[in-house]
Amino acid sequence: MSVSCTAKRIVAVNKPVARKAPQKVLVIKGNKLENNYTASDYIERYKDIAIDEMKKSGIPASITLAQGLLESGNGNGELARQANNHFGIKCNTTWTGPTILKDDDAKGECFRVYNDPEESYRDHSEFLKRQRYAFLFELNRDDYKGWANGLKQAGYATNPRYAELLIGIIERYDLTQYDRAESNTIAKVNREEKILQEISKEAYVKQQVEPEKAPVAMKIYEVKQGDTLFSISRRFGISVDDMKILNSIQGTDLKLGQLLLVSK
């Protein structure tokens, strides 16, 4: 997602020559989830790329995996399945790759299509390299609670329970086992300086050509006495099957105070 001044000139000058026809645009109709992957399947499949990105940028692997699980519905959502887009990153004026249209905040919004899920993970790291998230890169690589609360503080998501939900996913699936603290203070300082210099260098360009991704508008519901999956599904207009996929629920039992994702 990082865009240099040189890259911007290439888009403006050479695009008509390099691409004589527009890239294919796919359209998602409806929003049905397909339960092909469990949370455990997802973690096993993407833990390595999350660890690689952590080593390069300092974003805890646990945070990246938890966000991927949450935003892609364990990899079962249409954007993940049809566009390899696991973090809901939308198009902008500099994106020259294929796109997909999906109803979101508005009808027919444009989302990026990636060659593979790993490209989506790399783009997610680049997305976070901007001024509003810069303070997070000064945290330790294994400070998942600091990152979860910091993402909420910086406006990544609108739901006040977003940090709690991320932390819950991380602890439920023991995702901290994939986090790695820096070997020493010098390594941490060097990594911080490198990333913060990248953020500072790209700040002006991103401000001009890279609109901020809208905060993730997730509906999260806290289970109350007497609630059932069916009653909650009726309240929020989501099927029981989709709720079970999104929240990795195998049976029908709910616990008081349990947080459920009730939007796709």
- Identify whether the C-beta of residue 205 lies closer than 8 Å to the C-beta of residue 5: yes
**What does the pLDDT average to over 9-16?**
39
pLDDT digits (tens, 9 = 90+) for 203-212: 655 555 555 5
CA distances from 65 to 10, 51, 72 (A): 33, 9, 10
Superfamily of domain 219-264: LysM domain (3.10.350.10)
Let me know how many helices (H) and strands (E) the chain has, helices first. Answer: 10, 5
pLDDT at 28: 53
Domain boundaries, the chain: 21-216, 219-264
11: confidence class by pLDDT, cuts 50, 70, 90: very low
Phi, psi of 143 (to 5 degrees): -90, 70
pLDDT at 210: 53
The secondary structure of 124-177 as a DSSP string is HHHHH-SGGGGGGGGS-TT-HHHHHHHHHHTTSBS-TTHHHHHHHHHHHTTGGG
Average pLDDT over all residues of the chain: 81
CATH fold for domain 21-216: Lysozyme (1.10.530)
Lowest mean pLDDT among 100-109, 136-145, 159-168, 202-211: 202-211
